[in-house]
Structure 1
Amino acid sequence: MADLNKLTIAEARNALRKGDVTSIELTEACLTQIEGAGALNAFVHDTSDLAREQAAAADARVKAGDAPDLCGIPLGIKDLFCTKGVPSQAASGILEGFRPEYESTVTQNLFDAGAVMLGKLNMDEFAMGSSNETSVYGNVVNPWKVDARELTPGGSSGGSAAAVAADLCLGATGTDTGGSIRQPAAFTGITGIKPTYGRCSRWGIVAFASSLDQAGPMARTVRDCAIMLEAMCGHDPKDSTSADLPVPDFEAMLSGDIKGKVIGIPREYRMDGMPQEIETLWADGTAMLKDAGAEIRDISLPHTKYALPAYYVIAPAEASSNLARYDGVRYGHRSHLEQGDGITEMYEKTRAEGFGDEVKRRVMVGTYVLSAGFYDAYYNRARKVRTLIKRDFEQVFDAGVDAILTPATPSSAFGLGEMANADPVQMYLNDVFTVTVNLAGLPSISVPAGLDKQGLPLGLQLIGRPWEEGDLLNTAYALEQAAGFVAKPEKWW
């Protein structure tokens, strides 16, 4: 079989089971592509030796007839997931040299299912960013190219998105705190789902904002995301926020039949200055779902306009608390001390050298909003707003809406460096359609649905009821079938 690296997860699984291909062949095909894709800077830690071992073990399992769906499938793992004995830096200088002695629950679940780890993927430092420009490893480049510019793949899961879009791996893990799976998926023409908060264990994933972070799969199709998500999920006693709920067979729920489903179109997501192309794509997506038999209903989520400010109080507050553990004492980078320096100077110098500018900015914002004089004015108020946003969604779902359709991003991919000198708030506006979902803890998926006039991919977002990822994936499957998006970046790297 030619172009093994271009197979979907479902196609590769079926080929493995028929004996048409081996995991070793699939893995070697992907490793060859990774070697030739240095210009994208997507993979940052090489685990090819481990990948070959895992592939050989997977082939033995397939032969023995003991093969789960993901057995033998080559994946990329975001650098935020701790992987035993393998550098896990969260793309930060402060974790330089850190090799965990344990495996994150999500990666352990994937390995137990027989998945193969090709390597660790680039990302924004500590998952803080929307363009993958804050990484200690340098920028990730979007495989889509329409002019002389290098484009952002989105962030923070930019390495995951670029690797899947460029056919370097069949799927990848991502994490989503305010849109970090869905926005890069939209920018690179792939599919990515953020499950309900608590569906995937956070244990062993380097924390950014603990009440918002959630892991999820990024892959080429809705079916691939369903296969991968089932393997990633499950109750974990090591994570107190992990839900003790059975994990359904998500793939079996992909019928494409959405007759009678009610799809909500929130009027508050029609933003001033939204490009006409996004408006048109949204209208087209609405028409596609209506043609598939769904009922379209205009809905209101009145507190949407407060979501971004609330998110950028809560997320930095939690980050400042979570990142206090990086002090140079136990692991990672430690500053060289001069004579007379005490422990305080060591902390200060280590953090000044180890953290990048965006991380420092958010830690300072977080420390400020948690300080004695401002805790009630900012943090407590943001938490109250979060409750109102969550209630908006609950009221809509209680009124019979099954899913909500919105744009995934306010634009297509922009050029790397184009926002470097802009007000940071301009960058934060990239999350305008996605942060509400994290604040409410809901499942949400980005599906590629068209190209803009430059020829760059655009995505649509579907938001589902809590714990109903299967139903959400089925609605996304219907949208994917109707949109028929098959465009791929032309290889230039």
Structure 2
Amino acid sequence: MSNLTHLTLKDAVDGLKSKQFSSAELTDAFIGAIESANPALNAYVETTFDKARAQAAASDAKLAKGEGGRLEGAPLGIKDLYCTAGVRTTACSGILSNFVPTYESTVTQNLWDDGAVMLGKLNMDEFAMGSSNETSHWGPVTNPWKSRGSNAALTPGGSSGGSASAVAADLCLAATASDTGGSIRQPAAFTGTVGIKPTYGRCSRYGMVAFASSLDQAGPITKTVADSAILLQSMCSHDAKDSTSLTVPVPDFASFVGKSVKGLRIGIPDEYRLDGIPAEIDALWEQGIAWLKDAGAEIVRISLPHTKYALPCYYIIAPAEASSNLARYDGMRYGHRTDKAQGLTDVYELSRSEGFGKEVKRRIMIGTYVLSAGFYDAYYVKALKVRRRIAEDFINAWNSCDVILTPATPSAAFELGDQAKAADPVAMYLNDVFTVTTNLAGLPGMSVPAGLDSQGLPLGLQVIGKTLDEGTVFAVGAALEQAAGFSAKPSKWW
């Protein structure tokens, strides 16, 4: 069978079970694609081809007997945030450049238990801090998409840029990602892929390198909404090793894909109509509203009055938690240790200053400042109160709607090295303007590719659901996917 790498996860799993091709053939096809494309895209920072071939052989043996899990033989990419036993895991930071875990994250263990095959570890912003995948110790990822008539390298978004780029360029069937303030949904929107951040606590955080513990959540980036449902099903589980893991059953997410949205109430928040947003983003939003109306849904105008405080609130809470979480990287137990120290204080100071990149240092300093004596009440405590108000806005909104529809990002993918954003970190932070509210409220949110801008670049729509109601998000996401009929792929230049 030709073009095995172009298959969706669903079609690949079905094809493996019906013996149209073997996992070994599928895995070798992806290995060839990675070897050809990765020098140009830099999506993978570590490849595990020997391991992948061994896992594929084991899967083929199971499939030959009519056995195997729901992902048996399916080759996936793993974001470098997930600890993988015996395989280097760096969170794309110099301070962890030689860290090889002796244990497996719960999410990846779930995937291996279901028969998935690991192709390697995917590039990301350092410690998941970034919106363009330019803060990685291993260099930026390049988006496989190009603007019409331009050869300029574009960002795939961040922090899960490697995951999004690999899926869009057919370098894996699907990939794990993580979302602290939009790090699944923004890269998905920038690359024409589907990304869902589930309800906080749906997926275990055990074995995921921590950024902001009350915001971080695992999720997939895939080619279709159906693929997202399949992969998220395997990623979710209760885990006693994570105190924030929810003790709730995992529904059959795939059963919601294709379900009618007739009678559902779709909330349209007035506060997401921001000044200066490109007309194309607004037009796509209106188109999404029209599609859902045509599908029988009821459109309801809602208000989320504290939305304007979401970004400043997020950029106090997230750095505060990061400064606490990253205190463990001190040059003593594991990770980078300076060889220039004259004493103990030097070990701490130099190891951290050499090991961390600029953006991580910036956020550690912001976080340390807002947690310091005299500023804790003025900044951190106030931000926690605002976060509560943001969550209450959503609770009130659910009285009049079932899901919320918004744009996923304020623009299409921008150029790597964009000087305006490089010179002004706040300009970069604004990429998260539509996504951070769901993290602050712990809600599920999905980005679905819905169209192309005038330069031929993908744009996404975001569906936000109630706590633990990923099912309705999948139903609405699938309805948008069907109406949009988005089938564009990047032209192969790599």
Structure 2 equivalent of residue 259 of structure 1 = 262
1:269 partnered with 2:256: no
- Which runs of 5 or more structure 2 residues have no equivalent in the other structure? none
Question: CA–CA distance in 2 between the matches of 1:422 and 1:448?
Answer: 30
What is the TM-score when the length of structure 2 is the normalising length? 0.98
CA apart distance, 1:67: 2.2
Question: CA–CA distance in 2 between the matches of 1:239 and 1:126?
Answer: 19
Structure 1 equivalent of residue 176 of structure 2 = 173
Structure 2 equivalent of residue 57 of structure 1 = 58
Question: CA–CA distance in 2 between the matches of 1:422 and 1:461?
Answer: 29
1:42 partnered with 2:36: no
Q: Deviations over 1:440-473 (max 9, x none)?
A: 0000000000000000000000000110111211
Residue 260 of structure 2 aligns to which amino acid in structure 1? Answer: D
Structure 1 equivalent of residue 33 of structure 2 = 33
CA apart distance, 1:344: 1.2
Q: Deviations over 1:411-441 (max 9, x none)?
A: 0000000145421100000000000000000
Secondary structure, counterpart of 2:423 in structure 1: coil
Residue 56 of structure 2 aligns to which amino acid in structure 1? Answer: A
Q: How many residues align?
A: 490
Question: CA–CA distance in 2 between the matches of 1:6 and 1:275?
Answer: 32
Residue 96 of structure 1 aligns to which amino acid in structure 2? Answer: S
Question: CA–CA distance in 2 between the matches of 1:166 and 1:462?
Answer: 24
Q: Deviations over 1:63-94 (max 9, x none)?
A: 22222221111000000000000000000000
Residue 18 of structure 1 aligns to which amino acid in structure 2? Answer: S
What does 1:381-392 align with in structure 2 at a 5 Å threshold? 381-392=382-393
Structure 1 equivalent of residue 315 of structure 2 = 312
What does 1:243-254 align with in structure 2 at a 5 Å threshold? 243-254=246-257
CA apart distance, 1:342: 1.9
Question: CA–CA distance in 2 between the matches of 1:291 and 1:329?
Answer: 60
What does 1:71-470 align with in structure 2 at a 5 Å threshold? 71-146=72-147, 147-338=150-341, 341-397=342-398, 399-419=399-419, 421-470=422-471
Q: Is the 8 A contact 2:300 2:400 kept in 1?
A: no
What is the TM-score when the length of structure 1 is the normalising length? 0.99
Residue 199 of structure 1 aligns to which amino acid in structure 2? Answer: R
CA apart distance, 1:57: 1.1
Secondary structure, counterpart of 1:217 in structure 2: strand
Question: CA–CA distance in 2 between the matches of 1:354 and 1:209?
Answer: 19
CA apart distance, 1:14: 1.0
Q: Deviations over 1:259-314 (max 9, x none)?
A: 00000000000000010000000000000000001000000000000000000000
- Which runs of 5 or more structure 1 residues have no equivalent in the other structure? none
Q: Check 1:235–1:421 CA distance in 2 against 1; reply closer, same or farther (3 A cut).
A: closer
Q: Is the 8 A contact 2:69 2:113 kept in 1?
A: no
Secondary structure, counterpart of 1:36 in structure 2: helix
CA apart distance, 1:401: 1.1
Q: Deviations over 1:331-381 (max 9, x none)?
A: 11100134xx22111100000100000000000000000001100000000
Q: Is the 8 A contact 2:268 2:299 kept in 1?
A: yes
Question: CA–CA distance in 2 between the matches of 1:57 and 1:216?
Answer: 26
Secondary structure, counterpart of 1:263 in structure 2: strand
CA apart distance, 1:61: 1.8
Identity %: 67
Residue 165 of structure 1 aligns to which amino acid in structure 2? Answer: A
Q: Deviations over 1:23-42 (max 9, x none)?
A: 11110000000000110000
Q: Deviations over 1:101-157 (max 9, x none)?
A: 000000000000000000000000000000000000001000001212100000000
Residue 11 of structure 2 aligns to which amino acid in structure 1? Answer: E
> Which deviates the most, 247-256 or 93-102?
247-256
Q: Is the 8 A contact 2:422 2:428 kept in 1?
A: no
Q: Is the 8 A contact 2:261 2:296 kept in 1?
A: yes
